[in-house]
Amino acid sequence: MRYGSKLEGEQEALQFNPDSLIIRTSWLYSEFGKNFVKTMLNLLQEKKEISVVNDQMGSPTYAADLAGVILQIISSGQWQPGIYNYSNAGIISWFDFAELIKKLSGSSCKINPIATSQYPTAAKRPAYSVLDNTKIQQVFGIELKDWKEGLATVYRLFKYQNLRFGISQNGGLLTYMDSNHKRLNQNQLCYHYTIGQSLSNF
């Protein structure tokens, strides 16, 4: 199968298999892989000043929320082929998204808003990429989660990923260390353990 755009790919998929169910999403991120949130968290730690586009609007979408919607559709017993949209609720610019990530991280890095014309990319990005989720809500009864909830979860998990538990033993007692091999005291351990409990929400 060869096509020149996402739309053409979707159309060919439906033509090849009319029973296909396609879900479009936007501004996808998670605690895994490369994405805007993880890039920002790293840059905010490393840089004193960065620039982020302020004239592109969209709805950030947490990958775990999208996965939950897919599972809900599969288990609903109401398979209805077609093209659907799903994103988290809320509309924001990349700049405002970065500002909230900065607020969560407590970084002192300065973020400068810039126009898309000041940040050319190989792929042209739309100024407004907000999706209409009405169809997936009506057909499958999907409830949209606010994008800020997903961001808060990813930030907690991002911090949790930097922690390793019980990597050494001494006289039968477990020693807990962070990713820099620094021993954690009891208060630090309790804090990180609390963050880790959010994993049970998956």
Residues labelled catalytic: 3
**HEC string for the chain:** CCCCCHHHHHHHHHHHCCCCEEEECCCEECCCCCCHHHHHHHHHHHCCEEEEECCCEECCEEHHHHHHHHHHHHHHCCCCCEEEECCCECCEEHHHHHHHHHHHHCCCCEEEEECHHHCCCCCCCCCECCCCCHHHHHHHCCCCCEHHHHHHHHHHHHHHHCEEEEEEEECCEEEEEECCCCECCHHHHHHHHHHHHHHHHC
